[in-house]
Amino acid sequence: MRHLLAACLILVTALPVWAGARHTVLMDVLKVRELSSILHEEGIKFGATLNRDWLDGQGGPAWSQQVTRIYDPERISEGIRAGLEPALEGELLEDAIAFFASDLGLRIISLENAARRAMSDPAIEEQARAQYAARQGTNDTRLVQINRMITEGDLVNRNVTSALNSNYQFLRALVDGDVYTMSDEEILEDVLSERDDIAADTSSWLGAFLTLAYSPLSNEELTLYADFATTPAGKALNAGLFAGFDPLYEDISYALGRAMALNLAAEEL
């Protein structure tokens, strides 16, 4: 009986290790570390914008170092993983790995990351937005599949909600840092006042990004990807990514707000 119990304990304790290994495979095929590096670079640029708009460009090395720490790539990777692990297990996890480990799946991830980097250039972003806008209202078969993915994944609403929550946390941090005096209700009202503008901008950006990213794919390949996105595994992956990104960027936004409050206070001394 003791030998049997020991064997069962080994099996039970091995399960999380196996599950963790498979989630590591998922992270690898999704190239999450590469994406985290891209998001880190975006964060550095956003930090420069905050420095210009809020600190009159006087943040200096101290502000740059704070922003670099806040957008730590390892922190971003772990935040994404924290959302994916509970969302994808068993068959859902294996189906997601199988798709993104395929030639098409690997190519799609590479295209998405390349497009994300490319759209950090304002000129390319503007051109991509214009191309997407020009296709709206047409029977373009590629646009149909892209809009299908946006709709099925509820990508606009999910991204808008994430942006609003992040903005709320940034303002809350400024209030906590004595930059502003506002109640929670006033912060929420201020944030929600921008909802329509954020929704319009998000819809345009998403369409532009997906149009640019998938432009090298054939119609058949794009349809196959759209089909996968509507499967249980595709939906679970989408939910898991947002489950990771949402709290991650709320924490990042709050940290940025507190860092900004400290810098503004230092300016007043």
Angle at 102 between CA 101 and CA 107, to 5 degrees: 90
**DSSP 3-state of 1:** coil
CA-based max dimension of the chain: 73
Integer Cα distance of 258 and 93 in angstroms: 37
| Structural domain count of the chain | 1
To the nearest whole number, what is the mean pLDDT of the chain? 91
pTM equals: 0.88
- Residues spanned by the domain of 130: 2-268
Measured in whole angstroms, how far is the alpha carbon of residue 122 from the centre of its chain?
Answer: 19
Q: Is pLDDT at 113 greater than 60 in this prediction?
A: yes
With 0-12 CB in 10 A as exposed, 13-18 as middle and 19+ as buried, what is 53?
exposed
> CA torsion angle for 200, 201, 204, 210 (degrees, to 10)?
-130
Give CA separation, 83 vs 54, 88, 172, 237, 246, in Å: 32, 9, 24, 9, 9
Give CA separation, 118 vs 126, 199, 209, 212, in Å: 11, 22, 9, 9
Mean pLDDT of 134-148: 90
Q: What pLDDT digit, counting tens, does each position of 181-202 carry?
A: 999 999 999 999 999 999 999 9
